[in-house]
Amino acid sequence: MENLLKAKIKQAVEVLYNCSVAEELIQIQETRKDFSGDFTLVVFPLLRFSKNTPENTGETIGSYIVDKFPAISGFNVIKGFLNLEISNLWWKEYFTDLAGSKSLFEKCRVEKPETILVEYSSPNTNKPLHLGHIRNNLLGYSLYRILSVCGHSVIKTNIVNDRGIHICKSMIAWQRFGNGETPQSTGIKGDHLVGKYYVIFEREYRLQAAVLVQQGMDVAKAKNEAPLMAETREMLLKWEAGDPEVYNLWKMMNSWVYAGFDETYDKLGVDFDKIYYESDTYKLGKEIVLTALENNVLYKNADSSIWADLTSDGLDQKLLLRSDGTAVYMTQDLGTAVDRYREYKFDKNIYVVGNEQNYHFQVLRTILKRMGYDWAEGLIHFSYGMVELPEGRMKSREGTIVDADDLISEMQETARDVSLELGKLADFSDVEKEEIFRKIGLGALKYYILKVDPRKNMTFNPAESIDFNGNTGPFIQYTYARIKSVFRKAEQLGIKEEINSLSEAKVGVKEIEIVKLLRRFPETVSASAAGYSPALIANYCYELAREYNQFYHDFSILGETDQSIRNFRLILSRVTSEVIYNGMWLLGIEMPERM
């Protein structure tokens, strides 16, 4: 409709003012909700042709458009803005096409699809996944689905940080204090067990450092020379040297963690096409660093550590290899990026990583460009805000993280309590009930996190997220289930859709308002893909569900005596359910058909 309007308005200006007008001067936008109309023309750029006031110019163009274009039923002018009203007949014809469409995503497809890698999760193998990882995984997986329906070739990737000083901390603590316990011997999930020893390390390490401080050593030196830290550095050296004992311990403990991660990913409903491991990519990273050193792109310090001087780019100097030859995070990120480009020749590599790493990705992109990798322009940091609980920020070293598994279980329990209290599942089997509780609990969790602009910090409140009223996942799921119940009743009554007779129905304002909302779905998906923001889709789904619920409350569907209106409302309900289902699918949220 926007393109059609632009053409008609361009014609109007050229006929009325005997001139040629550039298309970019015809500025069309959706009318703001507090004004009457569907589309608004910004009149000001056209005053050079009319030589008149904004109000008179708007009136003249509006009158011409209404007279020449039957799809426009009326207009009003407010200062320099011409608000145009689309006729109900046009909306009904549009809805007829929409109702018969085979794909809701056809209009979302881009002209030039790209190969895009989306990296998300990126866990360390020294602790279980937590609430922060949940936001990361949900954003990454939703972004994958959104970009895919727009026609891009999207590869879901994960980089597991399975080596380095932090991993050795858990290993040292298990050696010292573990007494040989395993997930099998304790019944503790593998990633939880390893995370337990990460916390133990930090506790014992701080005690050791505190003793050295009491003996007169300054704090920084005490932290560096505490026996546990010295052992950890020595273990990292042995690991990089391929020491069999250290390597076997590392392999065993990581296997515990991978099994735990897989279980959590399965619960969340996310997966990956390709998993990279830092223990592999850091080797390529070291090769790249040494080659760049030979080419004078980097420099070596007196202690043999290797650095990048980025001060001319407004950044700092960045360590790439320590004096003992061991690698840092940046080293493996260099290796991973090069490895991925060699394999996929991507157009974009999107890193879903929290905003505390903004500087890190500036440095990564700058170093790769310095090394001659022009494709580094396609590295995009999808920088999202931190997620906290009402009690405050989580700290994994202190063992105060909100465990992902525990949170998922808590959400399902809350869904169970709320659903049973509402008393609408009496005729369901226990198995059916548990499946519904799972979908509601996870839907509440996912929606509450994804409805927030990803770039903003957020506070996750479990109690608010599972409310069956308001802007929540369960409210939207309940709306979908309500529509499905309408169709079960229609089937019982023998009422069927007749898509060819939609234009005959004398429908009112409310039905047309929902049609207008349905029309916005493809553009919302496209905007979400362009801006990397699942929140746009989440809030669109809520707006549509809210509008439909008001319609459902105020108007009868199957009880409507006028058959053409009943048919229109029934098909309107069906298309609404399809849009809600697909919108929530893009967020990774399952939709129960009964609640």
CATH classification of the domain holding 7: 3.30.1360.70
329 and 366 share a domain?
yes
Q: Please check whether residue 385 lies inside any domain of the structure.
A: yes
Amino acid letter for position 361: F
On average, the pLDDT of the chain sits at 93
220 and 323 share a domain?
yes
CATH classification of the domain holding 475: 1.10.730.10
487 and 431 share a domain?
yes
What is the DSSP pairing of strand 274-277 with strand 299-300? unpaired
pLDDT digits (tens, 9 = 90+) for 178-187: 999 999 999 9
Of the three residues 86, 109, 136, the one that is the final residue of a domain is 86
Cβ neighbours around 532 below 10 Å, total: 22
pLDDT at residue 477 greater than cutoff 80: yes
Q: Provide the residue range defining the domain that includes 191.
A: 120-398
Write the CB contacts of 138 (distance below 8 Å, at least 6 apart in sequence): 268, 270, 446, 449, 450, 534, 587, 588
Q: What is the pLDDT of residue 566?
A: 94
Q: Please check whether residue 233 lies inside any domain of the structure.
A: yes
Q: What is the pLDDT of residue 401?
A: 67
Q: What is the pLDDT of residue 40?
A: 96
196 and 295 share a domain?
yes
Q: Please check whether residue 96 lies inside any domain of the structure.
A: no
pLDDT digits (tens, 9 = 90+) for 493-521: 999 988 877 878 899 999 999 999 999 99
**Tally of structural domains, the chain:** 3
pLDDT confidence tier of residue 392, bands split at 50, 70 and 90 = low
182 and 214 share a domain?
yes
- Look at the pTM and tell me if it is higher than 0.85: yes
The sign of the CA dihedral 191, 454, 142, 363 is: negative
Of the three residues 367, 398, 429, the one that is the final residue of a domain is 398
pLDDT at residue 393 greater than cutoff 70: no
| Cβ-contact 289, 334 below 8 angstroms | yes
210 and 353 share a domain?
yes
CATH classification of the domain holding 208: 3.40.50.620
Between 12 and 402, where is the model more confident? 12
Between 233 and 388, where is the model more confident? 233
57 and 154 share a domain?
no
185 and 290 share a domain?
yes
Q: What is the CA radius of gyration of the chain?
A: 30
201 and 331 share a domain?
yes
181 and 320 share a domain?
yes
What is the DSSP pairing of strand 153-160 with strand 274-277? parallel
Mean pLDDT across 344-372: 97
Of the three residues 65, 86, 107, the one that is the final residue of a domain is 86
pLDDT digits (tens, 9 = 90+) for 421-439: 877 777 888 899 999 999 9
Name the strands in the sheet holding 39-42, side by side, starting at the edge strand that comes first in the sequence.
28-30, 39-42, 81-86, 72-78
Mean pLDDT across 366-380: 97
Q: Please check whether residue 307 lies inside any domain of the structure.
A: yes
pLDDT digits (tens, 9 = 90+) for 520-555: 999 999 999 999 999 999 999 999 999 999 999 999
**Rounded Cα distance, 487 and 548, in Å:** 15
Burial of 3 (0-12, 13-18, 19+ CB in 10 A): exposed
The sign of the CA dihedral 215, 219, 224, 228 is: positive
Q: Which residues of 402-411 are buried (b: 16+ CB within 10 A; e: fewer)?
A: bbbbebbebb
490 and 357 share a domain?
no
Cβ neighbours around 368 below 10 Å, total: 22
What is the DSSP pairing of strand 115-119 with strand 81-86? unpaired
